[in-house]
Structure formats: structure tokens, C-alpha cells
Chain A
Amino acid sequence: MWRDTWLIAALGLRRSLRDRSLIIQALVAPIVIALVVGAAFGAGFSLNVTIGIADADRSDVSQQITQGLVGSGGDGIAFSSVEDVADVERSVDSGVYDAVIVMPEGLRDAALAGRPAQIDVVGRATDPLAQSVAESVAAGVAAQLQTARVTAAAASSAGVDDVGAAIQQAVTTPPPITVTTGEIEGTFSVMAYFAPGMAMLFLFFIIGNGARSIIAERNQGTLPRILAAPVPPASVLLGKTAGVMIVGIVSMSAVWLITWLGFGAYWGAPLGVFLVIVAAVTAIAGISLLITGLARTEAQADALTTIVALLFAVAGGTFFLGATGVLNTLRLFTPNGLALSAFVDLSAAQAGVLEVMPTILLLVGIGVGTATVGLLALRDRVLT
């Protein structure tokens, strides 16, 4: 029986190797798409904001705050002093600054006298992110002024001699919270997300084609002839299933090795990656067999496969990285979404095999369960 099974699987494999459409879908498409995404977003998160500081107050306090901010820019954010404080709106509108923080005339005196005091932020309606960043920086400036006015009030009520010096000191004293930058080790390539995602999308088409060949062979009359020979029906079904699974595992592993070794996209611990590939292919093959088993005609199986593949791709997050809301929950109800979350754990969270084992087992369970139902249906309808 096993020899028959292997012969049928090997025949399927040989036919796959000659199929140019399969090579396009299994290898070229996922790799090219991953490369395009990699080229578009290879640099990771990127943001550049230029915030102007307009000091219309020109007091000792406002000058100190301006100096402190202008020196404090960093990667992705720059502060610069605005020369023309009269026409801040125009310089924001024309894009010289993404947003401007304005310290109006008389700010220091109002602040220190305990009168209402206000800092203005001028942003561009088309750039809400820069505006909100400027707003939060302005809140920090307001806090510095607040510290100065609280210090002034407290110093005079406590009987401090030199209130002016205390105010100066309050503006320059750093807060008791220090903020340091720590870099996270290890990088993540967006290709390690989109390559497996796209490979799984196209696997639905490839494996679906393989599974449908059972119906096609019955219609062409080759299947009854095989069954007339002393070949058990189980060998035919197992051989077909093994054939499409080997094609799936080999093609997805090839996508992995090419994007990893050729383009440096690290998918994570190799054993874990391989096991997730096997599990994902098992789940997709099971679902394809179920579709084939339930469909009445080859055309119906074809239509169902395309619809299921595209719906799973959309819901499983194949096209988007880092979605929130509905998509983030929905993806865990799809086999490809589950596999993608395991791939992300292996690559971005640097997880080990054991940590992704529950997902691997779940995927294999989905595959075996759906395949059993599908194969039973096929045995009853196609082989008899």
C-alpha cells in the first residue's frame, strides 16, 4: 500500500515541477511582493518633525526655556528658534515648521504674578501628529513655567531672600525623573511578515489545485482505471494529499530560505520556522480537502477556494502589519493569521520552539480535523 501511495505522491510532485503557474505562485509572487514591501518600509518607523519656538516674551525665563528646548532635539525631532514671531501662521502654513510653540509677550510677568498665563501652539490641520507632539512639548514648557511660579509664590511666603534667584534655579533644575534611552537588540524585517503571509495566500491556490485534481481525474476517467488496478482507495487519497503537502512545504521553505539567506530577512529560530511551515501547510491542505470534499463540481471547488483564500488573507492580516481593532481579533480565527502570529513570535519576539508549540499543535489539529472530514466525503463521492 505504501508503495502505491508514494508512486501517486511522486507523480503529483513531478507534474507540479513542470507547472510554470505553480512556480510563479509558489516562489516568484511571495518573494517579489515581500521585496517590494521591504524596499518601501525597510527603514522601519520613521518620523521627522520640526518644531519652531517663537519667543515673543523675550524674558530671562522664556529665553532659558527656548535655549533648553533648542538644545534638546533628537532623532526625528528638531527644535529651532523662530526669528519672525509676528507671522508664525505663515511659516507653519508654508511648511518651514511643522508646528510652532509661541510664548506670548508678557508671559513671564503674568506667570510670576500668578495671573492667568497661556502658551500657544500653532499647528497645521493636515499634520495632526506634529501638532500633537508640539502640544505635548508645550505642556512640558507650561509645566516649567508652573514650577517657576509655584516656586516664586512659595519662596516669598516662606521668606526666601532672593526670590529672583530661586525662580532662575527652578527653571534650570532638571525634574527628579531622568529619562534614558535603551536600544532593543535584534531587528525585524517586514519581509519576515509579508513573505510568509503572501506565501500562505498563494498556497491556498496551489494546494487547492492539487486537491481538485482528484475530481478532475475522476471526470477524465483516469481515477476509475487506477482503482480497477489492485490499489487501495486509501492509497490514492493519501498519495494525493502527501503530494500536495510536499509541494507546499518545499515551496514555502524555499521562500523562507531565499528571503533569509538571499535578502537577510530573519524569520527566527530555524527549527521553529520549519515546524510552523509544516503546521501551516497541514492546516491549509486540510481546508482545501474539506472544500474539495464538499464541492459538487470542480468549478465550484475552484470558486470556493478563491473566495476562502482571499477572505482568509484579508482577515488574517496578510496585507497589513500592525492593524488594531477588528482585524487584530479576527486574524486569530484564520489558519494563516494564527501561523503569522507564530512567525511574528519567532522573528520579532525572538521566541523559541516551545513558545510557538501551542499554535503549531492547533494548526495541525485544524488540518487533521478538516482533512478527515474532507477525505471521508471524497471517499464516499469520488471513489465509489
Chain B
Amino acid sequence: MRAALATARVEWIRFFRDRIAMFSTIALPIVLVLLIGLSFGQAGERLSMGLLEDDPGPLGTGLVTQLQDSAAVDVTIYDDRGDLYRDIRMGVLAGGVYVPQDGAQVEIYVQQTSSGAGVVMSTVNAAAAQVSTEAVAVEVVQNDVPRARAEAAVARAVADVPPVSVATRAVGAANEMEENRFASAVPSQLMLFMFLNGLLGAAALVQARQLRVFQRTLSAPHGLGVYISGLGMSRFAIAMLQAAILLGLGVLSFQIDFGDPVAATVLVVLYGVIVSAAGMLLGGLVRTAEQAVAIAVPAGIVFGMLGGTMWPLSVVGPAMRAIGHLTPQAWAMDAWNKIINEGVGLSGVTTEIAVLAGYAVVLCTLAVWALGRHARTGR
């Protein structure tokens, strides 16, 4: 054990000398958490809609004001039709509204592949009804009496009659991840970067392989097993340091409630074993440090995307969700959702923890096999 710890200590010191590793372990995830929290603050609460107006009359101006005040939409005014179309095509906007000069023939635009046309339509129709009370009342009353008399009567009625109000109440409680944008940014970036760093750790391992350190340990009194476990412990300690910094930042700076501490700790520890083993496996398979980086960065991004650390898996289709669950990231994010949002303890995430433990065992076995094979054959 002492020999393993000594190996871990040496690796730990080497890590702190490596500026890229320090940057991608600590600084980059923090920068990303801040940017995501600040840039996607209102996401998911209102529809983004673009609005193009062509100097509309009173009716059209009323509609524009009504839409800007609407609870359901977040209106951005455009003055260029090309820009509006671009953002609708990109899906940045749920739809666009064009209010022409007469204000009566309003057009809405949606993306060809969008499924939100009905929502945009309903919202605009509701706003149209709100600004049309007076016009409709005059039209109905003037069927029986002269128009001037109808207009005067309607104007009086509009002034006298109080508006019909709308009261909203919500059942259940908003979950932490929806109320506090940082509460989803911190765990997802943590899962993304722990994995990415775990894989990047392979580069240092390849250097050790090239220096034939593994072969030399075969002749040492403690043997290969102790050396590999020391390496594993140092990688695991780096992952835990990263987790401690990011989770600490979440609690102290963003007041995130990470739920049951026991469940969260078990999750982070298991995930730490997974990422360390994944990095050691990669380090045992590739030939050069350049290859390790060339594979680690894209693999970290792809696994992160599939596993729901870059966007929640609830927004993708069932096929992509199923594929995503081939990655440990997806199970870890499921567990975070339950621990943070539903407030469950360890007993509430047994499936996720069991699956992650499975990943940990398989990856550790494979990593030991790959490094052992290298030590014996020199390949």
C-alpha cells in the first residue's frame, strides 16, 4: 500500500506541473459553467418569437404591445426580414410574426420542420382577441343602431366595465435544476470534464509506456499490480479534486442544493473510478501521446453529447435517448436529476448506481488487462 501511495504521489506532482491539465481540469469547466449560466438564463420558460413590423396602424401597434407583454412569448424586434428568417431556420426562434401596415393581415412564420406552429398561432390569436374587444363590440352593436351611437356606447362600456382577469396557480414544485440554471450546469459540466480529463490522462501514461516504466516495475519487489494501482489512485485523486472544486463552487457561489450528500458522494466516487479507468485503458491501447489527445478530446465530446451532459436527454428522441444510455454519462445524469430534483437518497438511485458500478468493474478490468499486456509483451 505504501508503495502504491508513493507512486500516486509522484503522478500527482507531475500533474500539478502540467499547465494544460490544470487548465482543462479546473479553469475551463468553471468558465463554461459561468457562461452557460449567464447565457441561457431564461431558457425553457417562454417561447422566443421574432417580430417584424411595417409601421402598423393603431390595431397593429396594439397587437405588437400585447405580444411584448405576453406571458408566453419573449419577443425580439427585427428590422431585417433576412435576419428573422435566418434565426427561424436555425431554430433560435420558435417562430416569427409579421405585422403589416394595416395591421389586419398578420402573418406568422415557422420553420418547415418545426412542430411549434400551433403554439405560435394560438399565442398570436389570443393577443389579437385582446386588442379587438372594442372593434368587435362596435361591429355587433352597429347592426341594430347607427354606427356613431354604437361607437359612443362601446367607448362608455369599455371605460366602465372591469376586465375579466386570469389567475394562474401551479401544482407541484419547480425543481432545482429548472429554477437555478447553475444547478444543471454544474453537474453536467462536471460529468463532461471529469470524463474528458480522465481520457486526457492517457497521454501521461503513454509517455510512461514509452520510457518502459511498466517493464521495469516487473523486476521491482512490489511488482506491476502496485504500480498500476498507484497510477489509478493518482488519476482518481485528480478526478476527486476536480469534483470538489466544481461542487464547492456550486454550493458556495450559486447556492445549489445538490440533494442527499451520501447519494451524491457515492455517485461522484463511482464516476471518478470510471473516468480514471477509462483514461488508463486508453493509455494502454494507443501508441503515442498525440494519438491519446487526438482520441480523448473528440471521444470526450461525443460521449458527453450522447450522454446528455451538453443538453438534457429529455429533449431528444427515444432512439437517441436509448443510444445515450450506452454511455456512463447518461446514467450519471439520470442519477443527478433524481438526487437534485426529486430529492431521493441512495435508495432512490440504486439502478443508476448499479449500472455505474458495472461500468467501473468492466473498465478497471480492461485497463489492468491492457497495461498488463503491454508490460509483458512490450507492445
Chain A interfacial positions (CB closer than 8 Å to B): 19-22, 24-25, 28-29, 32-33, 36-37, 39-41, 43-49, 72-78, 89, 92-93, 111, 114, 116-126, 128-129, 131-133, 135-147, 149-151, 153-155, 157-162, 166, 169-170, 173, 175-188, 190, 193, 198, 202, 205, 209, 302-303, 306-307, 310-311, 314-315, 319-328, 330, 344-345, 348-351
Residue in A43, A44, A150 with the greatest tally of chain B CB atoms within 10 Å: A150
B168 pairs with A177, CB closer than 8 A: no
A125 in contact with B174 given A135-B72, A187-B113 (CB within 8 Å): yes
A314 pairs with B310, CB closer than 8 A: no
Rounded to whole Å, the gap between the CB of B40 and the closest CB of chain A is: 7
B90: chain A residues at CB < 8 Å are 188, 193, 321-322, 344, 348
Rounded to whole Å, the gap between the CB of B202 and the closest CB of chain A is: 13
Where chain B touches its partner, the secondary structure class is helix
B315: chain A residues at CB < 8 Å are 40
* A166-B140 Cα distance, complex, nearest whole Å: 6
Interface pairs (12), CB distance under 8 Å: A45-B116, A116-B162, A135-B168, A140-B130, A154-B137, A154-B141, A157-B153, A180-B106, A181-B121, A205-B297, A303-B23, A325-B38
* A328-B48 Cα distance, complex, nearest whole Å: 15
A314 in contact with B23 given A124-B172, A128-B44, A131-B168 (CB within 8 Å): no
Question: Of the 9-residue stretches B265-273, B286-294, B343-351, B354-362, which lies at the interface with chain A?
Answer: B286-294
Known: A150-B134, A177-B60. 10 other contacts (CB 8 A): A22-B294, A24-B298, A44-B111, A44-B112, A44-B115, A74-B121, A135-B71, A154-B156, A184-B111, A321-B92
* A147-B46 Cα distance, complex, nearest whole Å: 27
A178 pairs with B144, CB closer than 8 A: no
B89 pairs with A135, CB closer than 8 A: no
B217 lies within 8 A of chain A by Cβ: no
A161: chain B residues at CB < 8 Å are 144
Rounded to whole Å, the gap between the CB of B169 and the closest CB of chain A is: 6
A93 pairs with B140, CB closer than 8 A: no
B65 lies within 8 A of chain A by Cβ: no
A325: chain B residues at CB < 8 Å are 38-41
Q: Which residue of A lies closest to B163 (CB)?
A: A146
Question: Of the 9-residue stretches B28-36, B219-227, B234-242, B251-259, which lies at the interface with chain A?
Answer: B28-36
Rounded to whole Å, the gap between the CB of A28 and the closest CB of chain B is: 7
- Once A and B bind, how many residue pairs between them come within 8 Å at the CB atom? 417
B73 lies within 8 A of chain A by Cβ: yes
B280 lies within 8 A of chain A by Cβ: no
B291 pairs with A77, CB closer than 8 A: no
Residue in A111, A149, A209 with the greatest tally of chain B CB atoms within 10 Å: A149
A143 pairs with B133, CB closer than 8 A: yes
* A188-B125 Cα distance, complex, nearest whole Å: 28
B121: chain A residues at CB < 8 Å are 74, 77, 179, 181
Neighbour of B137 across the interface among A170, A307, A326, CB < 8 A: A170
* A41-B91 Cα distance, complex, nearest whole Å: 10
A141: chain B residues at CB < 8 Å are 126, 129
A323 pairs with B106, CB closer than 8 A: no
B213 lies within 8 A of chain A by Cβ: no
* A40-B311 Cα distance, complex, nearest whole Å: 10
A37: chain B residues at CB < 8 Å are 305
Contact with A along B149-172 (1 / 0, CB 8 A): 110111011101111111111111
A182 pairs with B109, CB closer than 8 A: yes
Contact with A along B83-120 (1 / 0, CB 8 A): 10111111110100010000111111111111111110
A160 pairs with B145, CB closer than 8 A: yes
B282 lies within 8 A of chain A by Cβ: no
A44 pairs with B164, CB closer than 8 A: no
A40: chain B residues at CB < 8 Å are 305, 311, 315-317, 320
Rounded to whole Å, the gap between the CB of B137 and the closest CB of chain A is: 4
A142 in contact with B166 given A132-B71, A157-B156 (CB within 8 Å): yes
A119 pairs with B125, CB closer than 8 A: no
Neighbour of A303 across the interface among B20, B169, B302, B310, CB < 8 A: B20
A44 in contact with B167 given A139-B126, A177-B59 (CB within 8 Å): no
* A133-B94 Cα distance, complex, nearest whole Å: 13
A123 pairs with B123, CB closer than 8 A: no
Rounded to whole Å, the gap between the CB of B17 and the closest CB of chain A is: 10
A344 in contact with B122 given A76-B117, A136-B70 (CB within 8 Å): no
* A146-B124 Cα distance, complex, nearest whole Å: 18
* A254-B167 Cα distance, complex, nearest whole Å: 57
B162 pairs with A114, CB closer than 8 A: yes
A209: chain B residues at CB < 8 Å are 290
B72 pairs with A29, CB closer than 8 A: no
B294 pairs with A21, CB closer than 8 A: yes
A121: chain B residues at CB < 8 Å are 166-169
Neighbour of A45 across the interface among B70, B111, B145, CB < 8 A: B111
B24 lies within 8 A of chain A by Cβ: yes
A170 pairs with B125, CB closer than 8 A: no
B295 lies within 8 A of chain A by Cβ: yes
Neighbour of B167 across the interface among A22, A39, A119, A147, CB < 8 A: A119
* A41-B92 Cα distance, complex, nearest whole Å: 12
A182 pairs with B45, CB closer than 8 A: no
Rounded to whole Å, the gap between the CB of B216 and the closest CB of chain A is: 24
B161 pairs with A126, CB closer than 8 A: no
Neighbour of A182 across the interface among B87, B107, B165, B166, CB < 8 A: B107
* A263-B27 Cα distance, complex, nearest whole Å: 36
Q: Which residue of B lies closest to A186 (CB)?
A: B89
A349 pairs with B82, CB closer than 8 A: yes
B132 pairs with A76, CB closer than 8 A: no
* A216-B50 Cα distance, complex, nearest whole Å: 53
B194 lies within 8 A of chain A by Cβ: no
B132 pairs with A177, CB closer than 8 A: yes
* A119-B169 Cα distance, complex, nearest whole Å: 11
B113 pairs with A328, CB closer than 8 A: no
B35: chain A residues at CB < 8 Å are 314-315, 326-327, 330
Neighbour of A139 across the interface among B92, B130, B305, CB < 8 A: B130
B207 lies within 8 A of chain A by Cβ: no
B375 lies within 8 A of chain A by Cβ: no
* A170-B316 Cα distance, complex, nearest whole Å: 44
A145: chain B residues at CB < 8 Å are 164
B129 pairs with A147, CB closer than 8 A: yes
Rounded to whole Å, the gap between the CB of A126 and the closest CB of chain B is: 6
